[in-house]
Amino acid sequence: MKKQQPIVIAIDGTSASGKSTNAKLVARALGFVYVDTGAMYRTLAWYCLQQGVHVEDSRAVARVCRQWKTSLELAEVDGLKCARLLVDGYFPEKEIRTAATSAAVPHVAAVKQVRAWMKRTQRDCARFGNLVMEGRDIGTNVFPETEYKYYLDANINERLRRRAAEGVHENLAARDQRDSQRATAPLMIALGAKVINNSEMTSEQTSGLIIEDVRKRLAAATSQE
């Protein structure tokens, strides 16, 4: 009997569109493993800073990505199963959320070799079972074959308000431009993705739409077997 492949729910979108919050809600409701791909890029950015590597030096960043000692682990955080990237057995949970790391991430994420390494590593997360994976290129690059693709967005003023509420002031328009014009795996709406503009929606409403859609499609697939 052919082994059934894990289900991957891809949640992509712009910065501050609610990807993390909604991905966690969806994963918790369905009992899937949550994967924050942004945290993986942040981990590399943090590590580069720790090693004194200039993050705008793409060759140096690529070299670090080839050489660093990493592993994946399945952890449970507040009852939520999470796939996490460890460096030398350590997960820098707080360090990757600093302003310095945030500023370094776009440079690191634009490196072609880094994105190739991340794609392989993120696809390897499927060994943990069914996934809810959030990021910027999941449906277009990491798991383009998945049938469960969602793209979240909100108007720029709402996204700025959300960032400010978190105590973060970021030029989101510039970030959007960098992400969408990136040479490798740019931010774009995946073919077949369900687009959700949640400018005037709560997280519960947004995640509810995704959960309902996934359950309906899973039920339909089961009935056809």
Name the token pair of 195. Answer: 């687009």
> How do residues 103-148 score in pLDDT, each as one tens digit?
899 899 999 999 999 999 999 999 999 999 999 999 999 999 999 9
Query: pLDDT tens digits, residue range 176-195?
Result: 777 777 777 777 899 999 99
What is the average pLDDT across 40-49? 98
- Cβ neighbours of residue 125 closer than 8 Å, sequence gap 6 or more: 33, 35, 72, 83, 131, 133
Q: How confident is the model at residue 165 (pLDDT cuts 50, 70, 90)?
A: confident
**What does the pLDDT read at residue 225?**
67
- C-beta of residue 110 within 8 angstroms of C-beta of residue 182: yes
Q: DSSP of 85-121, one letter per residue?
A: EEETTB--TTGGGSHHHHHHHHHHHT-HHHHHHHHHH
Ramachandran quadrant class, 182 (left: phi over 0; alpha: psi -120 to 50; beta: rest): beta
- State mean pLDDT over 35-64: 97
Tell me the two tokens of residue 46: 């943090």
pTM of the full predicted structure?
Answer: 0.90
Selection from 41, 53, 170, 173 nearest residue 111 by Cα: 41
In order of their start, the domains of the chain are 7-32+131-219 (3.40.50.300), 36-129 (3.40.50.300)
